[in-house]
Amino acid sequence: MPKEIYLVKVGMSMTEGMVSEWYIPDGGAVKKGELVYALETEKVNLDVDAEADGIVKHLVEPGVMLAPGDVVGYIYLDGESVPEGPLVGGAAESPAENAEAEAEPVAAAPAQPQPVVATINPAEPSGDGRLKSSPAARRLASEIGVDITRLAGSGPGGRIIERDVEAARGQSASSASVVPMKQAENIHASPLARRIAAERGVNLAAVRGSGPGGRIIQADVEAASSQRGSNVSGAAPSSDSGAQRYLPGQSIPLKGMRRTIAQRMHESLKETAQLSMDMAATMDDAVKLRTQLVKEWEGIAKPTFTDLVIRAVAKALREHPQMNSQFQTDAIELMQEVHVGLAVAVPEGLLVPVIRHADQLTLQEIAIESARLANAAREGTLGLDDFAGGTFTVSALGMFGVNSFTPIINRPQSGILGVNQIYDGLAWDGDTPVKTKQMNLSLTWDHRVLDGAPAAEFLATVVELLSEPYRLLV
Amino acid sequence: MKEFDCVIIGGGPGGYAAAIRAAQEGLSVALVEKEALGGTCLNWGCIPTKSLLHAADVLRQTRDAEALGVSIKGVDIDLAQMVKQSRDAANQLSNGIAGLMRKHKITVFKETAEILGVGQVGLSESGELLADAIVIATGATPRKLPHIDCESDRIWSAREAMTPQFLPKRLLIVGAGAIGVEFASLYSALGTKVTLIEAAANVLPAEDEEISTLAKAALSEEGIEIHTNTPLDALSGKKQLQAEFAGQTKRFDACIMSVGVTANVEELGLDRVGLMLERGFLEVDCHQQTSVPGIYAIGDVAGVPCLAHKATHEAIVVAEVIAGKNPAPLHSERIPGCTYSSPQVASIGLREQDAGERNIRVGRFPFYANGKAVASHAGEGLIKTIFDADTGALLGAHMIGEGVTELIQGFAIAITLETTEQELMETVFPHPTLSEAMHESVLQAFGRPIHL
């Protein structure tokens, strides 16, 4: 039977999209895993690969706006007849759901910057909130460390079967794009664990399950809830690592997000010429401003110091386009747009969702968006579009009392800014020492792209903006 | 010298299960068993006694059949046939284990073994084996009372009690644990006047007090004379036994000693590797590893509760550990226990008397309010459930009545899956079954039973 090619849904917020290019011509042969079409949405461009071997039939022309889940074509075998329109009934009972089961976006198109950690599309749960999967698939997934809630199912009704897990293993080995993140509604937890979590306000998405197949059991929730008290919660998007339990002698398998981070970070250090510098900003006015804004925007947004930094960075990047760039083999590409990534610690590791067009957003809009992203990151509900397209990254460790560090560039970007704690420093008023609020900013940049002087100029602009924070409001 | 990944000493429900699971994981396995495969459980415990107790149940039913409108005259007992049938069952199953050993290409040595050192096992006839892992699964033997030195072939342990040459008229059973109570129930049904004495305050002292009390009443009603808080002071005689307890001397034709077990570790060579017993048993961690790396222990030899299913579960754990996996350890509070007397008793988890300060809710549902129990003359019974009042976790279940040994697994699954009262309430139980009493007990714990 011909297999539908769907317009893939790549994020919660995606409402429409189009085939921007067919990679396989109408009537052309395709092998499973080969790129079939380029998807373009408001936010991202992605390549979509074939789910089966066969001959491609186009149903839509490039450039036609469609809804996610619409059938854009078919893959059929020689001798099979192909409908001229989308199939009704039968296997395609719910195209929007099956869309994700039938096609997988591969890593973002080359022209687009890569997120630190990508994710493949999650399978939608069925109506009753259960993720359909076979026991064999679940067993295999647990054995090889694939998070089944992130897989697309190819079995009847989108059910995840062993083959899908196998495929994910291949993919995770080749592109390291499978990220174990729990979808809130797909959390595998015992009823008792759920109830205790609800009573104690424990976020199950952040709890690692120790039961069969990674099931979260009572003991896991109790451990998470007893450790939570000691968690640091800072002004910036904070770490919620309370659920993680590391024991001496334990061997932590290098898989999933850990593996991705390891590869990306090491590659970054290998491939670039990165170095760091610190500069102190006087934060007295910024502290006052933030206090006022928190009060004034109560119920709307709660700006953090990191939000102020993101706003300052976005403005500074406009003035210093060299820092907003990508190093490529024979050219340095200065990016058109300013999309600032925000490193968020999650129990499994680190995610870098992106605040898009940060330079065009007001401080309040940045505060709202960064809070949404940090929250979604911790709850595991980030869409693929939330990761795409970052041109510069901000990483905050100030809430841990850090004063200086050397963040690692999130390739292919050219710079990353570390946000440190605010501390009581000294300034001189004539010969009199004055107590003042200070914060170091730690910039790592790629020396292949720009030299120390322009990098320092960029950092000085950020520092200036933070020292005169009212400029951040305009 | 032969080499194996894993050498298992003892072929009971622990040892043979460990052998099979290890073989499934691709390990080369040797199993050493000095007697019959299947161990005490299969040959001298669970299985043959179930055969005898089934005969006793049939006997009881034929006697009670008249009330149902079935008149059976001339009911008679053929003790030899009963015993033969029980031996046949044991032999059939033991042969089955031998077949399973062949199927999994497990090398079986029918001899005794001792540990020569870490990774070295000496056999009584076949020389020495080298093993990456040694599993001690030697089981346990009925304990003897130290102050009773009377020698008589009328003093039986379980093994003699399940192969009687004659039916004693007056039988003394010392110890009212599961084994003592089962034999009391068996011999009482066969017409023997049974006296059951127990040093603890209750019969079935491991059970919930309320259930123990009901069991005592039901057994007394069967005609069994029960003395609790009563140790055996003295025992003498040859063909006629004189027993002293509770300040009196009584005569008996036979006496069954069922006062617990001791681990089988004699001549195992534990001291060569520095293994010591703790309170009579080998101490193990949650992966069944003893204090000596590479030497594991499972089943009765590794401590209470001495139950076949506990041994089998530990066997799976140990085999997977040896195969390099990381299995979930056994939760001791999730091991059910069953007594196949009439009435049966089955339980799992927390007993009410152990709840202490814990905030619990207790549900009770009697068989007299259960349709199936009434229709099938199941007699009296009670299903008791204990929940954590704060979280709704099912903490324990305790049952007495006909057929409850087949019911308890439902609550075992529930506890293992960490269900709360809500899922249990939402579960549809088939009608008419005894299992509905389980449902009603849950409902009763939360004040909403239908049939009470």
Given B328, B393, B422, which is nearest A218 (Cβ)?
B393
Virtual torsion, Cα B88, B89, B93, B98, nearest 10 deg: -10
Chain B contact set for A142 (CB, 8 A): none
Contact B418 A191 (CB under 8 A): yes
Is the predicted pLDDT of residue B205 greater than 80, yes or no?
yes
Of residues A233 and A473, which shows the higher confidence score? A473
Residue A190 to chain B, least CA–CA distance (Å)? 6
Selecting among B287, B431, B439, B451, the annotated active-site residue is B431
Instruction: Tell whether A196 is within 8 A of chain B (Cβ).
Output: yes
- The reported pLDDT for the residue numbered A245 is 62
* H/E segment holding residue B243: strand B241-245
CA–CA distance, B99 with B108 (Å, rounded to integer): 11
Range of weakest confidence among A114-123, A405-414, B300-309, B344-353: A114-123
| CB count in 10 Å sphere of residue B277 | 14
Tokens in use for A59? 């149903």
Closest CA to A415 of A396, A430, A388, A393: A393
Total of domains in chain B: 3
Which residues of B lie inside 8 Å of A (Cβ-Cβ)? Answer: 328, 391-393, 417-420, 422-423
Q: Tell me which of B259, B292, B316 is where a domain ends.
A: B259
Please, what is the average pLDDT of chain B?
96
Chain A contact set for B419 (CB, 8 A): 190-192
**Total-model pTM:** 0.58
In the block, which residue shows the tokens 């299903």? Answer: B383
CA–CA distance, A66 with B38 (Å, rounded to integer): 67
Render pLDDT for B303-312 as a digit per residue (tens, 0 to 9): 999 999 999 9
Q: Are both B362 and B266 inside the same structural domain?
A: no
Contact A217 B392 (CB under 8 A): no
First-to-last C-alpha distance (Å) of chain A: 59
**CATH no. for residue B216?**
3.50.50.60
Residue B338 lies inside a defined structural domain of this protein = no
Residue B369 to chain A, least CA–CA distance (Å)? 30
Contact A192 B418 (CB under 8 A): yes
Of residues A106 and B209, which shows the higher confidence score? B209
Degrees to nearest 5, angle at CA B337 with B336 and B341: 145
Render pLDDT for B106-145 as a digit per residue (tens, 0 to 9): 999 999 999 999 999 999 999 999 999 999 999 999 999 9
Render pLDDT for A355-385 as a digit per residue (tens, 0 to 9): 999 999 999 999 999 999 988 888 777 777 7
Q: Which residue of A has its CA nearest to B325?
A: A143
Tell me, letter by letter, the H, E, C secondary structure of chain A: CCEEEECCCCCCCCCCEEEEEECCCCCCEECCCCEEEEEEECCCEEEEECCCCEEEEECCCCCCCECCCCEEEEEECCCCCCCCCCCCECCECCHHHHHHHHCEEEEECCCCCCCCCCCCCCCCCCCCCCCCECHHHHHHHHHHCCCHHHCCCCCHHHCECHHHHHHHHHHHHHHCCCCCCCCHHHCCECHHHHHHHHHHCCCHHHCCCCCHHHCECHHHHHHHHHHHCCCCCCCCCCCCHHHCCCCCCCCCCCCHHHHHHHHHHHHHHHHCCEEEEEEEEECHHHHHHHHHHHHHCCCCCCCCHHHHHHHHHHHHHHHCHHHCEEEECCEEEECCCCCEEECEEECCEEECCEECCHHHCCHHHHHHHHHHHHHHHHHCCCCHHHCCCCCEEEEECHHHCCCCCCCCCCCCCCEEEEEEEEEEEEEEECCEEEEEEEEEEEEEEECCCCCHHHHHHHHHHHHHHHHCHHHHHC
DSSP track, B206-238 = TS-HHHHHHHHHHHHHTT-EEESS--EEEEEES
Residue B450 lies inside a defined structural domain of this protein = no
Q: Are both B382 and B435 inside the same structural domain?
A: yes
CA–CA distance, A55 with B303 (Å, rounded to integer): 66
Is the predicted pLDDT of residue A113 greater than 60, yes or no?
no
Residue B100 lies inside a defined structural domain of this protein = yes
Of residues B155 and A173, which shows the higher confidence score? B155
Is the predicted pLDDT of residue B431 greater than 90, yes or no?
yes
Q: What is the DSSP letter of B409?
A: H
CA–CA distance, B386 with A382 (Å, rounded to integer): 42
Closest CA to A99 of A7, A3, A2: A7
Virtual torsion, Cα B19, B20, B22, B23, nearest 10 deg: 110
Instruction: Tell whether A253 is within 8 A of chain B (Cβ).
Output: no
Is the predicted pLDDT of residue A120 greater than 50, yes or no?
no
Render pLDDT for A275-327 as a digit per residue (tens, 0 to 9): 999 999 999 999 999 999 999 998 888 899 999 999 999 999 999 999 999 99
Residue B306 to chain A, least CA–CA distance (Å)? 26
Q: Are both B240 and B350 inside the same structural domain?
A: no
* A259-473 CATH pick, 3.30.559.10, 3.40.190.10, 3.40.350.10, 3.40.50.280: 3.30.559.10
Residue B249 lies inside a defined structural domain of this protein = yes
Chain A contact set for B423 (CB, 8 A): 191
Amino acid code (one letter) for A393: T
Residue A89 to chain B, least CA–CA distance (Å)? 33
| B431 flagged as catalytic | yes
Residue B118 lies inside a defined structural domain of this protein = yes
Instruction: Tell whether A218 is within 8 A of chain B (Cβ).
Output: yes
Closest CA to A192 of A214, A228, A172, A216: A216
Residue B147 lies inside a defined structural domain of this protein = no
Confidence label for A156 from pLDDT (cuts 50, 70 and 90): low
In the block, which residue shows the tokens 């149903």? Answer: A59
Instruction: Tell whether A204 is within 8 A of chain B (Cβ).
Output: no
Residue B301 lies inside a defined structural domain of this protein = yes
CA–CA distance, A353 with A256 (Å, rounded to integer): 17
Q: Are both B245 and B299 inside the same structural domain?
A: no
Q: Are both B303 and B435 inside the same structural domain?
A: no
Q: Which residues are CB-contacts of A409 (< 8 A; sequence separation ≥ 6)?
A: A268, A272, A274, A393, A415, A416, A444, A445, A446
- Residue to test with chain B: of A128, A144, A187, A192, most B Cβ within 10 A: A192
Of residues B378 and A78, which shows the higher confidence score? B378
Q: What is the mean pLDDT of residues A389-404?
A: 91
CA–CA distance, A393 with B182 (Å, rounded to integer): 73
Q: Are both B75 and B8 inside the same structural domain?
A: yes
Closest CA to A463 of A446, A445, A436, A440: A440
Is the predicted pLDDT of residue B68 greater than 50, yes or no?
yes
Is the predicted pLDDT of residue A182 greater than 50, yes or no?
no
List the domain range (segments joined by +) for residue B124.
2-142+262-332
Render pLDDT for B235-272 as a digit per residue (tens, 0 to 9): 999 989 999 999 999 999 999 999 999 999 999 999 99
Q: Where are the domains of chain A?
A: 1-109, 259-473
Residue B250 lies inside a defined structural domain of this protein = yes
Q: Are both B27 and B119 inside the same structural domain?
A: yes
- The reported pLDDT for the residue numbered B318 is 97
Q: What is the mean pLDDT of residues B323-332?
A: 90
**Check whether domain A1-109 has CATH 3.50.50.60, yes or no:** no
Is the predicted pLDDT of residue B169 greater than 90, yes or no?
yes
φ/ψ of B85, rounded to 5, equals -60, -40
Residue A100 to chain B, least CA–CA distance (Å)? 31
Please, what is the average pLDDT of chain A?
78
Question: Cβ-count burial of A117 within 10 angstroms (0-12 exposed, 13-18 middle, 19+ buried)?
Answer: buried
- The reported pLDDT for the residue numbered B215 is 97
Range of weakest confidence among A207-211, A414-418, B438-442: A207-211
- Specify which residues A324 forms β-bridges with: none
Tell me what percent of the residues of chain A surpass a pLDDT of 90: 32
Contact A195 B419 (CB under 8 A): no
Q: What is the mean pLDDT of residues A182-203?
A: 78
Confidence label for A188 from pLDDT (cuts 50, 70 and 90): confident
Tokens in use for B339? 């007594």
Q: Are both B40 and B115 inside the same structural domain?
A: yes
| CB count in 10 Å sphere of residue B141 | 15
φ/ψ of B255, rounded to 5, equals -140, 130
- The reported pLDDT for the residue numbered A179 is 33
Chain A contact set for B393 (CB, 8 A): 192, 218
Q: Are both B130 and B271 inside the same structural domain?
A: yes
First-to-last C-alpha distance (Å) of chain B: 69
Contact B391 A192 (CB under 8 A): yes
- The reported pLDDT for the residue numbered A185 is 52
Q: What is the DSSP letter of B271?
A: G
